[in-house]
Structure 1
């Protein structure tokens, strides 16, 4: 049985199982899905994809993510590849790894085009928002919607293009007010630390403690 040659009766049983998902206790649903997937060859990519989706549907995000990755690694048909990518990116958001999800979604947007383009754009926007890039998120969604407008298409596209160049906003100052200055290593060059979701840059100015550069040097801590 290859990736494209799955018996019709197996697909019918899979469809029946998914139809009953809401009425089936989670443990029994997962057990039934595992039994059905065991009928496929070990290297078949459909098995980890469906098991990932099953775990996803019952709230097992931590179990779903590596199964989606395994399915993608084994090779999926284009439509399932897109679904797996979207669903994995969503799980990575839940697991606090939105940067990984964003990279997957950008690659998927560039890889293919189909009726899930809007879904890719929406999840990309959600992930950008998680990363603090709300204006970029809005710009992407507006650009996609602009293509469908009977009027104002050029205007909306232009406004969307200007959104990512946001005015100065110093999130690090808020963190300092709340937590105080984070500890910094003794620098030999400019570098950064990750603290509370913010990237905080610092540099050695030749004496005293490290200087923190707040988004282009508008503030400092130390000497």
Structure 2
């Protein structure tokens, strides 16, 4: 199956077949789809992680995300898997690892805004409120027509805080 066909198959799964009220059925269908990929395929692991995550099964998604990344996931999928792993870690209360992953990852291209949004959430959950707001403003400022200089200055003046959430 070509990469384009695989992407189409996954898109169709989420648009037509995924049912968050049928955990078993959705996982079984994704397992059926990934069975057509080579054993240990990074893209298949990523999609299997994603379906577990979407169904609220974060504990099962985390090791699958890690394996997908370690197996050599490439391109946009690698960036998204890293963002999704960090978001899922945040959801299970591992704020520090989520922050670390998101701060250390490279620019996420078209998903850079998502990386910054999840980083802002994780920083907030970690009790770093000034840092959280600075990241959120940093994501917003480039989209504005005016006030960029003033908001950039105000964001830079926010204190780096660490308080218990």
TM over 0.5: yes
Higher strand share: 1
What are the ranges of 5 or more consecutive residues in structure 2 without an aligned counterpart?
Answer: none
Look at both structures and tell me which one has the larger radius of gyration over its CA atoms: 1
Aligned to 2:13: 17
Aligned residues: 164
Note the C-alpha offset of 1:36: 1.4
Cα distance in structure 2, aligned partners of 1:94 and 1:33:
23
Aligned to 2:94: 97
Note the C-alpha offset of 1:151: 2.0
Within 5 Å, which residues of 2 pair with 1:110-125?
111-125=106-120
Higher helix share: 2
Aligned to 1:213: none
> If the length of structure 1 is used for normalisation, what is the TM-score?
0.67
Q: Is 1:28 matched up with 2:63?
A: no
State the structure with bigger RCO (CA 8 A, min sep 6), 1 or 2: 2
After superposition, the Cα gap between the structure-2 partners of 1:23 and 1:161, relative to the gap in structure 1 and judged at 3 Å, is closer
Cα distance in structure 1, aligned partners of 2:153 and 2:58:
38
> If the length of structure 2 is used for normalisation, what is the TM-score?
0.89
Within 5 Å, which residues of 2 pair with 1:1-223?
5-6=2-3, 8=5, 10-19=6-15, 20-22=17-19, 25-108=22-105, 111-165=106-160
Q: Which ranges of 4 or more aligned residues in structure 1 deviate by more than 4 Å?
A: none
What are the ranges of 5 or more consecutive residues in structure 1 without an aligned counterpart?
Answer: 172-196, 199-223
CA RMSD of aligned residues (A): 2.2
